Amino acid sequence: MAKAFPTDNPFLHGYYGPVNTEADAGHLHITGEMPRELCGTLYRNGPNPQFAPRGPYHWFGGDGMIHAFHIENGNVSYRNRWVRTPKWELENKEGEGLSGTFNNPRYSDPRIFQMNSTIANTNIVWHGGKLLALEEAHAPFSLDPASLMPVNGGYETFGDKLNGPFTAHPKLDPKTGEMVFFGYSAKGRFTKEVSIQTVTEDGQITRAEVLDGPFPSMIHDFAVTRNWIVLPIFPLTSSMERAMAGLPPFAWEPDKGTHIAFIPRNGTVADVKWISAPPSYVFHPMNHYETADGKVVVDVMKFDVAPLFPLPDGKPSSPTTPQARLFRWTFDPSGQANTFKEEQLDDRAGEFPRFDERFCMSDYRHGWIVAGNVVDTRTGEPRMDGITHYDLKTGKNEAFAGEQADRFGEPIFVPRSDDAPEGDGWVLTVVWRGKEGRSDLAVFEATDIAKGPVALAHLSTKVPAGFHGNWRPGPL
């Protein structure tokens, strides 16, 4: 029997509280003028637990749910579906939650633990004609772009060539169509090895190696340039021993420092170069590229202390909620010095950086973030101020903020056309209207954020706090 969700966990209520219905709406009401040039689908993924979890719940541990907004001829339709993973299917059949967060064996039914199912709750990408729902511990889960139902059993293993887990943040090379990805805990749960792999646009894996890391770490994202794969090992560690003892499976251990691997795209992991750095944590870089003289630039939203995770003994990692700010890291991997340059680009807090993906791995000008703190880990109250646009060439920025109770999702850039200049297009984001308990799809002119949305598509229901999404152009 399905149990009520706990009342004492902030990530199960309010903006974070899951929706328990799947819906279809063919014609959302629109305020403003939806741009006629927009034709495609915005897919957004996030945690939405089907049932109350066993044991302590972490926001990162809910079942994936896809929210799809299709825009065509000025009309907006909406559909949401749970990602029907093996875990979801078994729990749906049993009518109750059977798993602990991160599939913690201390709390999970042996059937759930042994099936080692994805929850597919973090990102969703379109590559090689396939829509892939991602998290960072399992293979991608393939969905039909129109129905959002699993395709061919769901799991995409690229002809059974996939070696280990698959990151939620693969990098797509806009010049070659190649997808570069990694997977931490490559040799089993909470191990220090990291897989490094590439797959062509037609689904052929062309590289599969394993890098020996300094310690087991949660590696959420990475960077890729024309010549380098840049893999950061931050001191957010994992431990099976802690998990089995009822202590945090993932914990902040700053004494271990940060270690950044530079792996040649045209070499092997045997050619890796390591650069050490002070302890910090980065969930997401914005963009990454090489300068004319061979230096590597990575723009990041940097936390001094990893948020949302405690110390190994379970105590808070910081007396206040950590905040991320935009920094530029510049490396010289061809030089001899084991150092890097760090420059702070803005002092406002924020997260979920995005840019014009056509300029991935290239010098670029425009970027967007959700401005404000990610979340208050004690109350679950997010402090999102709105959307900020950065002009990185002029150093200027502008922002839009809604009502005090509004909460903004990740800003996703859509170009006006395939060959439009950088930044010429729109930014799409899902906004939760806290006073009304429902959500809107908001469309902004990408380089004129401050004037507010040019169009809003209104839902009567909520899209809960989520993670990442992407745009698939064209009709369904």
DSSP letter for 62, please: S
- How far is Cα 184 from Cα 210, in angstroms, rounded to an integer? 10
Pair 221, 283: CB distance under 8 Å: yes
State in Å, rounded, how far the first CA of the chain is from the last one: 38
| Binding-site residues for Fe cation | 169, 220, 284, 468
Q: Which residue intervals of 289-421 are DSSP H helices? A: none
Beta strand segments in 5-157, E? 24-25, 29-32, 40-47, 64-72, 75-82, 123-127, 130-134, 141-143, 150-155
Whole-number Cα distances in Å, 470 to 95, 316, 411? 32, 33, 10
Q: Cβ distance 229 to 242 under 8 Å?
A: no
3 phi and psi angles, rounded to 5 deg: -95, 155
Displacement of CA 271 from its chain's centroid (Å) = 29
Q: What is the DSSP pairing of strand 455-458 with strand 469-473?
A: unpaired
In which residue are the tokens 């590597």 written? 296
3-state helix, strand and coil shares in percent for the chain, rounded to the nearest 5: 10, 40, 50
Contact 390, 366 (CB under 8 A): yes
223-224 and 205-212 beta bridge pairing? unpaired
Q: Point out the annotated binding site.
A: 169, 220, 284, 468
Separation CA 305–CA 454 (nearest Å): 37
What distance in Å separates the CA atoms of residue 140 and residue 405, rounded to the nearest whole number?
35
CA–CA gap between residue 443 and residue 426 (Å, rounded): 6
In angstroms, rounded to a whole number, what is the distance separating the alpha carbons of residues 98 and 111? Answer: 9
Secondary structure of residue 290 in the 3-state scheme: strand
Distances (CA, A) of 129 to 111, 145, 181, 201, 203: 33, 10, 18, 9, 9
Those residues whose C-beta lies under 8 Å from the C-beta of residue 194, and which sit 6 or more positions away, are: 182, 183, 184, 186, 210, 211, 213, 219, 231
